[in-house]
């Protein structure tokens, strides 16, 4: 079990929903609990269970309604159209190059596409159910609460980026972000109210007193890396086409020719010489890093040091690092390399078994204590995660959700609306 929660997350559970609102239209990511938060990913993981005897030719692709305005999901009188789901799907692939590679593969492409569509429709349905329940309860957030949350979000941009720059990278408008943020805050406020009704302050303190060690945040560093590979990963029988989401624990590698390795070493020394400041280093890393650290993945984010096992922070951007390093058993080596660096300057070129690494430690945070006030938001986060899941399941059991990817006909839609009206009337 992880010893603690990332320092950024410990500031406020609201920040979790706010940050992910940049990425997920549904802003649903607060559901992860204390034990699994570090492992949360914005990526599709193919379920190998039960698929051993199923090949791609036997999988039927989901066929969406051809009309963009055709509804494919009905949730509590809200509609999701085929066009809206298609837009969500393409945005998901833009944000998740690993998933895009799987979708384009001949081995798992259809299964991956089906799973992504089901995932997105399910997330939309859960978000819609929770938001509408919050509205029924009369939960609202003030403009000041939204502005405070925006400021907290901007404090997370350690590299000096602005909110506008992040929105531009995600092809999102500020209006879309503010809408998603308001909805995320509304759901969080509802969950807070429900949890506080069920758990007294005395009960929270008793839980804390029995589990103090869980809430010590170890020393952590914020890392950006530039990586050039000297070995090529060979795909195994259970690997996806992306080469980074496979099931292999010990992947096989083939070295590049020595001439190319020597050229890569000189190239890395050149990048190091150019990196006189953080902004230049980040630009070089985003432009020149090899997978899995290419583009935005060069920002590893917060990682803990002096732990028995490597623990990645909660940053969305460190997922490729966590996945890849665990597969290649380089966790401890690079953890130690990063931990010895001085913040504010580029590292020497480091050679590992798979390539050359440059790193820049942007910030170092000392170990923080485990007083109750600091731990309370983390305890509440776990309780709200459980409440979110339980409430979503309860609302789903009330038969408010209906999904038909091929399209909901007018007659079906009318019947669903009559049933919803009857349910509402019966409650009055």
- What pLDDT is recorded for position 408? 94
Q: How many Cβ atoms from other residues are within 10 Å of residue 374's Cβ? A: 15
Q: Residues 174-191: what's their mean pLDDT? A: 94
d(CA 281, CA 271): 8
Q: Which is it for the CA torsion 290, 292, 293, 295, positive or negative?
A: positive
**Spatial CB neighbours of 348, under 8 Å, sequence gap ≥ 6:** 272
Please list the residues that pair with 301 across neighbouring strands. 223
- Is it the case that residue 197 has pLDDT exceeding 60? yes
Q: Residues 115-124: what's their mean pLDDT? A: 94
Check: pTM over 0.85? Answer yes or no. no
Q: Read off the tokens for 290.
A: 């090899």
pLDDT higher for 309 or 2?
309
- Do the beta carbons of residue 226 and residue 281 sit within 8 Å? yes
Q: How many Cβ atoms from other residues are within 10 Å of residue 168's Cβ? A: 12
- Phi/psi at 193 (5° precision): -60, -45
Q: Which of 23, 24, 1, 35 lies closest to 381, judged by CA?
A: 35
- Phi/psi at 326 (5° precision): -65, -40
Domains located in the chain, CATH noted: 7-213+370-427 (no CATH), 220-365 (3.10.50.40)
- Do the beta carbons of residue 116 and residue 99 sit within 8 Å? yes
Question: For the CA atoms of 391, 392, 394, 396, what is the dihedral angle to 10 degrees?
Answer: 160
Packing angle, helices 13-21 and 372-397, rounded to 10: 60
Q: Read off the tokens for 302.
A: 């917060």
- What pLDDT is recorded for position 329? 54
Angle (nearest 5°) at CA 148 between 142 and 153: 130
Q: Residues 143-167: what's their mean pLDDT? A: 85
- Is it the case that residue 15 has pLDDT exceeding 60? no
Q: Read off the tokens for 52.
A: 């051993």
DSSP, res 214: G
- Do the beta carbons of residue 5 and residue 37 sit within 8 Å? yes
What is residue 346's three-state secondary structure? strand
- Is it the case that residue 89 has pLDDT exceeding 80? yes
d(CA 340, CA 331): 15
pLDDT higher for 177 or 231?
177
């Amino acid at each position: 079990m992880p010893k603690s929660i990332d320092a950024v997350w410990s500031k406020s559970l609201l920040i979790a929903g706010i940050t992910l609102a940049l990425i997920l239209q549904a802003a649903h990511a607060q559901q992860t609990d204390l034990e699994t938060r570090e492992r949360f990913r914005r990526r599709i993981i193919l379920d190998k269970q039960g698929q051993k005897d199923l090949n791609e030719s036997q999988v039927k692709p989901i066929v969406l309604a051809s009309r963009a305005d055709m509804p494919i999901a009905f949730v509590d009188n809200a509609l999701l159209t085929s066009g809206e789901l298609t837009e969500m799907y393409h945005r998901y692939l833009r944000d998740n190059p690993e998933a895009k590679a799987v979708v384009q593969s001949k081995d798992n492409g259809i299964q991956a596409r089906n799973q992504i569509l089901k995932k997105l429709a399910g997330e939309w349905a859960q978000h819609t159910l929770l938001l509408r329940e919050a509205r029924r309860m009369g939960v609202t957030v003030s403009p000041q609460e939204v502005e405070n949350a925006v400021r907290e979000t901007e404090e997370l941009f350690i590299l000096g980026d602005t909110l506008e720059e992040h929105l531009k990278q995600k092809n999102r408008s500020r209006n879309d972000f503010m809408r998603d943020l308001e909805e995320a805050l509304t759901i969080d406020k509802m969950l807070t109210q429900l949890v506080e009704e069920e758990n007294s302050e005395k009960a929270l303190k008793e839980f804390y007193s029995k589990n103090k060690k869980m809430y010590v945040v170890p020393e952590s560093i914020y890392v950006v890396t530039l990586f050039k590979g000297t070995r090529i990963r060979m795909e195994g029988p259970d690997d996806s086409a992306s080469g980074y989401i496979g099931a292999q624990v010990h992947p096989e590698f083939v070295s590049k020719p020595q001439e190319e390795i020597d050229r890569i070493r000189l190239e890395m020394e050149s990048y190091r010489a150019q990196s006189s400041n953080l902004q230049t280093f980040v630009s070089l890393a985003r432009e020149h890093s090899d997978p899995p650290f290419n583009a935005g993945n060069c920002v590893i984010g917060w990682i803990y040091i002096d732990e028995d096992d490597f623990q990645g922070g909660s940053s969305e951007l460190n997922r490729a690092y966590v996945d890849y390093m665990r597969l290649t058993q380089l966790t401890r080596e690079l953890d130690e390399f990063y931990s010895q660096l001085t913040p504010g300057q580029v590292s020497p070129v480091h050679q590992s078994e798979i390539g050359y690494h440059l790193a820049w430690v942007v910030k170092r945070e000392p170990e923080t204590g485990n007083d109750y006030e600091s731990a309370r938001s983390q305890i509440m986060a776990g309780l709200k995660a459980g409440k979110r899941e339980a409430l979503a399941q309860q609302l789903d059991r009330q038969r408010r959700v209906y999904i038909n990817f091929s399209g909901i006909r007018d007659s079906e839609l009318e019947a669903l609306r009559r049933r919803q009206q009857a349910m509402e009337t019966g409650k009055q």
